[in-house]
Amino acid sequence: MRKSIQGIGALAALAVAFSAFAGTAFAGKDKMNFGKYQVGELRTGYTFSTPETRAIQDDDFENPAFLWVDVGEALWNKKEGKAGKSCASCHKNASASMRGVGARYPVFNKKLGKLQNLEQRINQERVEKMQAKPLKYESKELLGLTMFVRNQSKDMPINVSIDGPAAPFFEKGKKFYFQRRGQLDMACANCHVDNPGGMIRANLLSQGQSNGFPLYRLKWQKPGSLHRRFRGCNKQVRAKPYSYGADEYVNLELYVAWRGQGLPVETPAVRM
């Protein structure tokens, strides 16, 4: 959340800055070849990043997010809880057992009767299979483990299922995406569908794709979950954010993932 956006004057300025770009045609403006980060009309946030930010992501040794991936890998192998097991006790090598899993989430979970995202699945595994405590949302541990699991699907196309039992939740997520909210009365779509490539104050708007999450934000100086990003975007329009792991956000997560269906998993991405 930009601390500098304060007061009605600033809000009005934000709206004006935005409207100056409303209707700006985006397609074809940028003729660069973004390789795997562009699939048809879909472009990941990488293609809207500065060359400097891209360079940090491109080099696994320079990418600070890998410190968290390493935390996740250590946890994968660490025995915790009353069952005396680690993730690895059952799933062995994550590069085989978790390959493709991160590209499919969130999924409908029969027992819960609703969608479940990867963070929630990991915690379910800890509680039910390890008899260990769930990890706190946005903790170094849960971010690390989620990034580690997602990273096993690196470069695989996002491949979520939106039909069958997932359909009604997908519809809710879609509705959320197009619903105007907050003092600025703006929907996700007003920024990320209508205006990618446009500026909103100092920010270059992307398509708002989720394929790189959890990702490292230079502004945060640490990685954050997709729900942290949703909260930030809600607050940007002065709307009340939902809590981490809220059903509303998990449904939204499915819709946003589906918008980027076919884009490669980029976790852990690096953004401004």
Residues labelled as active-site residues: 233
Residues 10 and 2: their CA atoms lie apart, in Å, by 11
**Residues within the interface to ligand HEC (CB under 6 A):** 45, 48, 85, 87, 89-91, 101, 121-122, 125-126, 129-130, 145, 149, 186, 188, 190-192, 200, 203, 205-206, 208-210, 212, 229-230, 233-234, 236-237, 252, 256, 271
DSSP of 53-84: HHHHHH-TTT-TTHHHHHHHHHHHT--BTTTT
Q: Minimum distance between the CB of residue 154 and ligand HEC, rounded to whole angstroms?
A: 15
Q: Minimum distance between the CB of residue 67 and ligand HEC, rounded to whole angstroms?
A: 19
Nearer to ligand HEC, 66 or 271 (CB): 271
Q: Minimum distance between the CB of residue 195 and ligand HEC, rounded to whole angstroms?
A: 8
Residues 139 and 223: their CA atoms lie apart, in Å, by 10
Name the closest residue to ligand HEC (Cβ): 45
Nearer to ligand HEC, 168 or 179 (CB): 179
Nearer to ligand HEC, 87 or 158 (CB): 87
181, with CB counted inside 10 A (0-12, 13-18, 19+), is: middle
Q: Minimum distance between the CB of residue 60 and ligand HEC, rounded to whole angstroms?
A: 19
Residue 25 is given by DSSP the state -
Q: Are strands 222-224 and 114-116 parallel, antiparallel or unpaired?
A: unpaired
Say which residue the tokens 């401004």 belong to. Answer: 272
